[in-house]
Amino acid sequence: MDFLKTLSIAASGLKAQSGRMRVIAENIANSDSTASSASGEPYRRRIASFRTSFDRELQAQVVSLGRVQNDRTDFVTRHEPGHPAADAKGDVKYPNVNPLIETVDMRDAQRSYEANLNVIGATRRMISRTLDLLRA
C-alpha cells in the first residue's frame, strides 16, 4: 500500500475530528449561557457533520468537516423570576445543550482522533522498517 496515501487519509481524519471537537467544546462552554434579554434566544447547540470527497491526486476518498448545523430541539426553560432574561411568567430559556451528551460525543471524537494517530504511527514504523531493510 502507498504510505503517503495512508498518511494523507489519516491526516484528513485528524483534521475532521479536530473540527468536531472544537464544535463540541463550544457547546460545552455555552451550556449555561442565557439570552441577554427576555425576548432573545440563548445559545443553540451546534452539530458537526462530515463529508467525504474523492481526492484525485491521492486517488482515494478523504473525509472533512461538513456543515455545522444548529440543533432545532427546544430550549430548556427554568422558572427563575429574578433573572434578567426571565419572561413575563418568570421563565428563563437555557441552551438546548446536554452536558452528558456532549461529553459522550467528545469522547467518541477523541477515540476517532486517537485511532487516526495510531494509523499514522503504524505507517511511520512501517516506513522506518522498510528503510532499515533497504539499508541492510
The tens digit of pLDDT for each residue in 52-86 reads 999 998 899 999 999 999 999 999 999 999 898 99
User: Residues 93-117: what's their mean pLDDT?
Assistant: 97
Tell me what percent of the residues of the chain surpass a pLDDT of 70. 99
What is the CA 82 to chain-centroid distance, rounded? 35
Q: Is the pLDDT of residue 36 over 90?
A: no
- Distance of alpha carbon 89 from alpha carbon 104, whole angstroms: 34
Q: What pLDDT is stored for residue 131 in this prediction?
A: 93
Average pLDDT along the chain: 94
Could you give the angle at the alpha carbon of 46 between the alpha carbons of 111 and 24, nearest 5°? 30
Tens digit of pLDDT for each residue in 6-17? 999 999 999 999
Q: What pLDDT is stored for residue 1 in this prediction?
A: 57
